[in-house]
A and B are shown apart, each in its own frame.
Chain A
Amino acid sequence: DAGVIQSPRHEVTEMGQEVTLRCKPISGHDYLFWYRQTMMRGLELLIYFNNNVPIDDSGMPEDRFSAKMPNASFSTLKIQPSEPRDSAVYFCASRTGTGYEKLFFGSGTQLSVL
């Protein structure tokens, strides 16, 4: 298996623009998580899905952030409009739902909002 696949690896955009980050989880994994990594706050959980249904979005910072999972093999995290403080590395991770299972992380998307 290729692991969790995220795209793009790097995104540079201007303030006010819409940004869409993409994730393909490992086949067979029924949990998907979006994390944001910054120097100050470390790894923050933004939202997670179980069987394509959002379970907890309490970590989503503002209404400017939204996430979808239209099917078991694809998820998006959208920021509209983007702001410089959104600059961070965004990780997607997936796992199976059988209990104490490890998370498999993608390589992340480095987002820079100018």
Chain B
Amino acid sequence: GENVEQHPSTLSVQEGDSAVIKCTYSDSASNYFPWYKQELGKGPQLIIDIRSNVGEKKDQRIAVTLNKTAKHFSLHITETQPEDSAVYFCAASIRTDKLIFGTGTRLQVFP
């Protein structure tokens, strides 16, 4: 079955700096790669996703890149703000039938 590895487990950045989180997946058939953000005491929420026919996708300060050959994808947050502090999860699946999540990255943005 699919296995998703995520790094780093914790990330601390200064406000205004960029943050990058990386994930690798094992199943070459996976074609859907979402990112979820979890704030304290809440369930994860989708922030951006990418399908295998696209190499990069942007939404304001957030971007995701996908390298299907290497089976890895990354989340990039630019101009970080304190409200970006949260736990971020990557995931992979074939469509969205069975999302397999990484172990999460705790991002802290210091003012």
How many residue pairs, one in A and one in B, have C-beta atoms under 8 Å apart? 53
Interface status of B103 (Cβ within 8 A of chain A): yes
Quote the shortest CB–CB distance from A12 to chain B (angstroms): 17
Q: Which chain B residues border A95 with CB–CB below 8 Å?
A: 96
Asked if B43 and A105 make an inter-chain contact with CB atoms under 8 angstroms apart, the answer reads yes
Smallest Cβ-Cβ distance to A33: which chain B residue:
B99
CA distance A99 to B49 in the complex (A): 13
**Which residues of A sit under 8 angstroms from B43, Cβ to Cβ?**
4, 91, 93, 105-108
A43:B101 contact, CB within 8 angstroms:
yes
Interface: A85 (CB within 8 A): no
Q: Which one, B41, B42, B44, B98, contacts A45 given CB within 8 A?
A: B98
- Pick the residue among B1, B44, B49 that contacts A43 (CB under 8 A): B44
Q: A43 vs B38: C-alpha distance in the bound complex, in angstroms? A: 11
Shortest beta-carbon distance from A24 to chain B in Å: 14
A91 contacts across to B, CB distance below 8 A? 43-44
- Whether the Cβ atoms of B96 and A103 lie closer than 8 Å is yes
Residues of chain A within 8 A (CB-CB) of B101 are 35, 42-45
- Among candidates B1, B95, B103, residue contacting A41 with C-beta atoms closer than 8 Å: B103
Query: How many of A's residues come within 8 Å of B, CB to CB?
Result: 24
Q: Does B28 contact A (CB under 8 A)?
A: no
Q: Does A48 contact B (CB under 8 A)?
A: yes
Of all chain A residues, which has the CB nearest B91? A43
Q: Is A18 an interface residue (CB 8 A)?
A: no
Query: B40-51, CB under 8 A of A: which get 1 and which 0?
Result: 011111100101
**CB proximity of A46 to chain B, nearest CB, Å:** 11
Q: How far is the CA of A106 from the CA of B41 in the complex (A)?
A: 11
Q: Which residues on A sit within 8 Å (CB–CB) of B6? A: 42
The answer on a CB contact under 8 Å between B96 and A105 is no
Contact B49 A102 (CB under 8 A): yes
Given contacts A56-B98, A100-B95, 6 further A-B contacts (CB under 8 A): A4-B43, A42-B102, A43-B89, A45-B98, A103-B99, A107-B43
